[in-house]
Structure 1
Amino acid sequence: MFAVIETGGKQYKVQYGDVIYVEKLNAEEESEVNFSVVAIGDENGMKFGTPYVEGATVTGKVVKNGKAKKITVFTYKAKKNSKRKMGHRQPYTKVQIEAVNA
């Protein structure tokens, strides 16, 4: 059984035991989080919600809160002697899927 969840403006296809990296959640490490389910599927077929499936949830455990590798952002304007170099590290939350409840 798998489910499609929505968090941080993105959708993820998950099943039991998956480890996913999502946009930073407001949760401590080792705590549980629940996600709303957009679609759920098994060997009998798919069930889609409008916008969410009633009574279906996905439970996950927060493994870690961290920051991704640094990327370099460089902007410039040609022929204007204008340039700017910045770095950015996107925060994330690492979540392990514990249960898919239909």
Structure 2
Amino acid sequence: MYAIIDFGGRQYKVEEGQSLLTEKINGVEPGTDYEFDRVILVKNDSEAKVGKPYVEGAKVVAEVVEHGKDRKLKIIKFKGRKQYRKVKGHRQQYTEVKIKKIDM
């Protein structure tokens, strides 16, 4: 059984027991449950439900494992023959969740 959820402007295919890195979820402490209610598709062995745009009554329950920061990315701006160089770094914050249950 799997589901496709919409969260943070992205779509994720999730299964029970799977770990997932998403955008940071503010206001949720590690160890608590979080409910994704914007479910686009739910499929089990015998049937599939597709939403218009979301499946009515479907939800995905996940446990928040941790919050963290991704590796550093360097942003470099450069213009030739103008002596212009600019270097900037960025570390994206994320939340790791573990999928506990998919409800149709």
Same fold (TM over 0.5): yes
- The equivalent of 1:85 in structure 2 is 87
**Which one of 90, 94, 97 corresponds to residue 96 of structure 2?**
94
In the alignment, the residues of structure 1 paired with residue 11 and residue 5 of structure 2 have an alpha-carbon distance, to the nearest angstrom, of 6
- CA deviations on 1:25-64 (whole Å, 9 max, x unpaired) are 1111111111121111112242211111000000000000
Q: TM-score, normalised by structure 2?
A: 0.93
- Write 1 or 2 for the structure with the bigger share of strand: 1
Percentage of pairs with the same residue: 39
Provide TM-score, normalisation by structure 1.
0.95
Structure 1 counterpart of 2:83, one-letter code: N
Q: Which runs of 5+ in 2 are unaligned?
A: none
> Which runs of 5 or more residues in structure 1 are unaligned?
none
Moved beyond 3 Å, runs of 4+? none
Q: Please provide the CA RMSD for this pair.
A: 1.0
How many residues in Structure 1 have an aligned counterpart in Structure 2?
102
